[in-house]
Amino acid sequence: MKKDIYKIKIKLISGKGGNGIISFYRNRYIRKGGPDGGNGGKGANIYLLTDNNIDSFNHLRNKKIIRSENGKNGQKNNCTGKNGKSLYIKIPINTKVKIQNTKKTYLIKDNNIKLLVIQGGKGGIGNSKFKSSINRTPFQCTKGIKGKKINIQLEKIFYNDIGIIGLPNCGKSSIFKKLTSIKKIKIKKYPFTTLNPQIGIIKIKKNNKIFSIVDTPGIIKGSSKKNNILSINFLKYIKNCKIILHILEINKNFKKILKNIKLVNKEIYNYDKNIYKIKQFLIFNKNDLTNKKLIKNINNILIKTRFKNKIIFISIKKNIGIKILKKKLYKYLNNIRKKN
């Protein structure tokens, strides 16, 4: 299984301060000059910087420990050592930051926001700073302070408009591709084709509106259990969606349809009741392979459930019902945006 590229833990170590030094001024004309040992430079800070060109933590997957530069040691002639260059770690917008050492949590929603997460160590003091009226030749200096160590957890929080759910191999990726016009996407007849969430954009040309949509891996029995990493890790990506499209295949076995709907919703309910409360449409694919009587029968059965007036029949292959689906999505989401 691929690693989760939307959640990562990293150890950060800030730079150590440079040492102060012991030095005395000397030249051919002044044999006994005073102390001129400089201070050490400051160790580098580590910042998090949001960048809307990044959508995951894939660039940090192989970096378990990140260190910033140490400060340089002081020099003679009262020269302070060079400070370590601050390190900026780029992260996506809408990133939740947990600093585990302090238990502080931040949610960074905007682009180009800089967050100082760990400071570098202070530089040591050179012997010139210890000179006094009673100590004209100090033979003392201090070492730079070591950098700090912290563990942080970064998690991408999704705020998509539409989420797609369903059993494995039910046609979720095909519908996602059709709605977003994305060409490069795996669509094969084996479970869990989608191993990472696919995020796309739906454009409504008539109204010039844009909505974001996320396709998630198939939900199976036991998805809500903690030991089922493959499924449970992706249910969180629909947590903040405004509407959910539950994809199903048309089937003559009505009991099986109801069983599949119940299975998926039970797993969602067990994982997070708030996701279960999100408005959910039942989208039946392969409309071209059935007849009007079967569609009517399915409607009559489901009309008694909480999905009354939330059932749409489509055919990806024949392009049936896609416009109706987009129209309903636009109407519902646009009303939400007006209220907000």
Beta carbons within 10 angstroms of residue 211's beta carbon = 22
d(CA 234, CA 198): 11
The angle that helices 292-302 and 254-271 make with each other, rounded to 10 degrees, is 40
This model's pTM is above 0.95:
no
Nearest one of 194, 154, 150 to 57, comparing CA atoms: 154
Are 144 and 19 in contact by the 8 Å Cβ rule? The answer is: yes
pLDDT at 1: 41
Burial (Cβ within 10 Å: 0-12, 13-18, ≥19) of residue 331: exposed
Please give the pLDDT value at position 297: 84
Spatial contact of 201 and 213, defined as CB atoms under 8 Å apart: yes
Query: Residue 227: its pLDDT value, please?
Result: 55
Please name the amino acid found at residue 30: I
Render the burial of 78-113: b for 16+ CB within 10 Å, e for the rest: bbbbbbbebbebebbbbbebebeeeeeeeebeeeeb
CA dihedral 226, 227, 230, 234 (to 10 degrees): 10
Tell me how far apart the alpha carbons of residues 144 and 40 are, in angstroms, rounded to a whole number.
7
> Residue 207, exposed/middle/buried by CB under 10 A (0-12, 13-18, 19+)?
exposed
Q: What is the mean pLDDT of each run of 10 residues along the chain (340 residues)?
A: 75 98 87 90 98 90 94 96 97 93 89 96 96 92 96 90 89 87 45 62 74 85 63 74 92 86 91 90 82 83 82 87 88 80
Distance CA 153, CA 122 (A): 26
Q: How many CB atoms lie within 10 A of CB 284?
A: 25
Phi, psi of 158 (to 5 degrees): -95, 135
Rounded CA gap, 12 and 168, in Å? 39
- Reduce the DSSP state of residue 247 to 3 states and report it: strand
